[in-house]
């Protein structure tokens, strides 16, 4: 890709970017959210048409009018958000849009044979007849990779492929990547996970603010070097200094047990004012289910919740908001943002009652003032509040969601994986916002699967294992080994 330029209204997304990828290599593409990585790859995949520059594959100039053109030429892309057809078989998902035909009918036998041969070639153990909706995220990811290979892809773009995978599933993905690399396939790998990048990549290209900073051999880089080149400054501290002083008990949970017998049981703990309480645990430990129950999204079989020493009933999110509790969900695209609405609408949507005036009219002037104030306070990068939220980077979308909940003036913020899929620079900004809220006396419950984040941000860490509370440790003195032992013990 030579001197690729792309502009959107009010934003120069790509400024003369050049990217060279060698055959049979894993080429990592890194940068903060909003650096232009996804835009560059969408140009390569035919989703966007560049405003300037040229693209070549094996020396031949590419003229891409659509993604189909890219696929036909051997360029595939596996998006961060997987969108399979859940109620159809694995084979049908692999050959969607290009079914083998026998006359006017689909040749199902050939489709099954071709799928089995494809999986065998890639050493994947997946039943072609299984419904995709019944499979794990890692299996669906493997199907997407197989689908990409079935186009005889010479270049495969993988956008955040491990964001929803467990440790074992990541190892399986890396095995497939190494296998593809040995066959001469080039992988362009986008990820914010430094350890992964240094382990799997041959070369690393770093972007910042729509421009290329440089390309280096992965063996020449360290995590600190990558971070400083990504953000343009030295982040000597990964977490902001915390000056919050936890006070008396704000919320007390006693014997909380889910109405779902497969979920959490007998959870009791206290949350203090101005405290950041981390929740750790392995996948399936029911952490998300617990915070969703506190927010009224899940039914309880027994137990009680006290706020300021008084018993409260929270049977719905409306009850939770009335009791000044807010929830930032784990999947911002699925359960957070309204992608077809703009930043203004996404920011005020949880708090419309505050702006209601006589005759059911809304005070648009006050709404506008609050939204603009939120954008400045949380440093949301956007030309204006009328920009569609889906056009923002992941980190800026997360800031808008935080702004939405801060307008409800909560006393308790429930944050489920608040920095998932966000680059290191935006993470630091989110951490600073969380630390400032705690300093102001707000109480935060934060779920995180990243151990350094959990220990670096939490005053105390509550550890869950298979739906039960296995221990609470001091965030300042606890070690990763101590938390993992509590998370894994039977």
Domains along the chain with CATH numbers? 2-231 (3.40.50.300), 249-488 (3.40.50.300)
H/E segment holding residue 197: helix 194-200
**Greater confidence, 365 or 284?**
365
Tell me the DSSP string of 34-58: TSSHHHHHHHHTTSS--SEEE-EET
Alpha carbons within 13 angstroms on the beta-carbon side of residue 400 total 31
Burial of 272 (0-12, 13-18, 19+ CB in 10 A): middle
What whole-number distance in Å separates Cα of residue 445 and Cα of residue 270?
A: 11
How does DSSP classify residue 62? Answer: P
Sign of CA dihedral 322, 328, 329, 333: positive
What whole-number distance in Å separates Cα of residue 394 and Cα of residue 190?
A: 14
* Tokens linked to 321: 């908001």
Residue 167 predicted with pLDDT over 80: no
pLDDT at 79: 81
Burial of 351 (0-12, 13-18, 19+ CB in 10 A): middle
| 108-124 pLDDT per residue, tens | 999 999 999 998 888 88
Residue 10 predicted with pLDDT over 70: no
Residue 235 predicted with pLDDT over 60: no
| 342-377 pLDDT per residue, tens | 999 999 999 898 899 888 899 999 999 999 999 998
Helix/strand/coil for 24: coil
Burial of 358 (0-12, 13-18, 19+ CB in 10 A): exposed
* Tokens linked to 38: 């996804």
The residue-averaged pLDDT of 173-194 equals 89
Residue with tokens 């400032």: 436
Cα 236–Cα 415–Cα 381 angle in degrees, nearest 5: 60
The residue-averaged pLDDT of 68-74 equals 92
Residue with tokens 């000044």: 324
Tell me the DSSP string of 201-234: -SEEEEEETTEEEEEEEGGG--HHHHHHHHHSS-
What whole-number distance in Å separates Cα of residue 108 and Cα of residue 431?
A: 52
How does DSSP classify residue 283? Answer: T
**Greater confidence, 233 or 139?**
139
pLDDT at 297: 95
pLDDT at 33: 67
pLDDT at 359: 80
Residue 141 predicted with pLDDT over 90: no
Sign of CA dihedral 341, 345, 349, 352: negative
What whole-number distance in Å separates Cα of residue 130 and Cα of residue 65?
A: 34
What whole-number distance in Å separates Cα of residue 439 and Cα of residue 276?
A: 10
Question: How many residues does the structure list for the chain?
Answer: 490
What whole-number distance in Å separates Cα of residue 12 and Cα of residue 206?
A: 17
Contacts of 181 (CB under 8 A, 6+ apart): 24, 25, 26, 187
Tell me the DSSP string of 92-150: HHHTTT---EETTEE-HHHHHHHHHHHHHHTT----TTSBGGGS-HHHHHHHHHHHHHH
Instruction: Answer whether 251's CB lies under 8 Å from 443's CB.
Output: yes
Residue 416 predicted with pLDDT over 60: yes
Helix/strand/coil for 164: coil
- C-alpha separations of 121 from 73, 81, 137 in Å: 21, 26, 21
Cα 474–Cα 306–Cα 348 angle in degrees, nearest 5: 90
Alpha carbons within 13 angstroms on the beta-carbon side of residue 129 total 4
* Tokens linked to 262: 């497969």
Contacts of 201 (CB under 8 A, 6+ apart): 26, 27, 28, 189, 218
Residue 322 predicted with pLDDT over 70: yes
Contacts of 123 (CB under 8 A, 6+ apart): 175, 176, 179
Instruction: Answer whether 395's CB lies under 8 Å from 423's CB.
Output: yes
| pLDDT level of residue 166 (50, 70, 90 thresholds) | low
CA-wise closest residue to 431 among 244, 224, 225, 242 = 242
pLDDT at 156: 94
Residue 164 predicted with pLDDT over 70: no
Residue with tokens 């430990």: 285
Residue 176 predicted with pLDDT over 60: yes
pLDDT at 360: 81
pTM of the complete model beyond 0.75: no
CA-wise closest residue to 51 among 17, 24, 28, 97 = 17
pLDDT at 191: 85
Instruction: Answer whether 153's CB lies under 8 Å from 67's CB.
Output: no
Any bridge partners for residue 256, and if so which?
267
């Amino acid at each position: 890709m030579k001197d690729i330029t792309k502009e959107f209204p009010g934003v120069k997304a790509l400024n003369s970017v050049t990217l060279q990828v060698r055959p049979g290599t894993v080429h990592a593409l890194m940068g903060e959210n909003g650096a232009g990585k996804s835009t560059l790859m969408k140009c390569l995949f035919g989703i966007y048409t560049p405003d300037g520059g040229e693209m070549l594959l094996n020396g031949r100039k590419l003229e891409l009018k659509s993604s189909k053109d890219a696929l036909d030429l051997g360029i595939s892309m596996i998006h961060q958000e997987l969108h399979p057809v859940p109620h159809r078989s694995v084979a049908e998902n692999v050959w969607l849009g290009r079914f083998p035909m026998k006359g006017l009918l689909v040749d199902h036998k050939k489709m099954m044979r071709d799928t089995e041969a494809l999986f065998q070639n890639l050493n994947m153990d997946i039943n072609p007849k299984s419904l995709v909706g019944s499979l794990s995220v890692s299996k669906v990811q493997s199907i997407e990779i197989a689908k990409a290979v079935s186009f005889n892809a010479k270049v495969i773009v993988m956008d955040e492929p491990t964001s929803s995978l467990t440790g074992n599933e990541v190892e399986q993905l890396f095995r497939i990547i190494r296998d593809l690399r040995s066959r001469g396939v080039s992988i362009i790998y986008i990820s914010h996970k430094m350890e992964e990048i240094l382990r799997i990549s041959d070369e690393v290209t770093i972007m910042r603010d729509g421009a290329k900073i440089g390309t280096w051999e992965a063996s020449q880089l360290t995590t600190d070097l990558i971070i400083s080149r990504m953000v343009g400054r030295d982040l000597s501290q990964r977490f902001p200094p915390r000056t919050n002083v936890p006070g008396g008990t704000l919320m007390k949970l006693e014997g909380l047990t889910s109405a779902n017998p497969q979920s959490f049981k007998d959870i009791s703990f206290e949350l203090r004012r101005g405290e950041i309480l981390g929740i750790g645990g392995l996948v399936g430990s029911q952490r998300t289910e617990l915070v969703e129950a506190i927010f009224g999204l899940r039914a309880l079989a027994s137990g009680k919740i006290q706020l300021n020493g008084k018993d409260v009933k929270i049977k719905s999110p409306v009850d939770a908001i009335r009791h000044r509790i807010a929830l930032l969900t784990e999947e911002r695209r699925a359960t957070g943002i309204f992608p077809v609405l703009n930043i203004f609408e996404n920011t005020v949507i949880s708090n419309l009652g505050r702006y209601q005036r006589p005759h059911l009219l809304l005070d648009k002037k006050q709404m506008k003032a609050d939204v603009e104030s939120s954008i400045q306070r949380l440093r949301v990068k956007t030309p204006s509040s009328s920009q569609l939220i889906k056009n923002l980077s992941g980190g800026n979308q997360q800031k808008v969601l935080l702004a939405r909940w801060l307008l409800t003036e909560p006393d308790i913020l429930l944050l489920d994986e608040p920095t998932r899929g966000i680059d290191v620079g935006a993470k630091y900004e989110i951490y600073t916002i969380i630390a400032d809220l705690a300093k102001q006396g707000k109480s935060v419950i934060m779920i995180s699967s990243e151990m350094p984040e959990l220990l670096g941000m939490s005053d105390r860490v509550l550890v869950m294992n298979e739906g039960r509370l296995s221990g609470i440790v001091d965030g300042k003195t606890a070690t990763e080994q101590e938390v993992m032992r509590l998370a894994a013990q039977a």
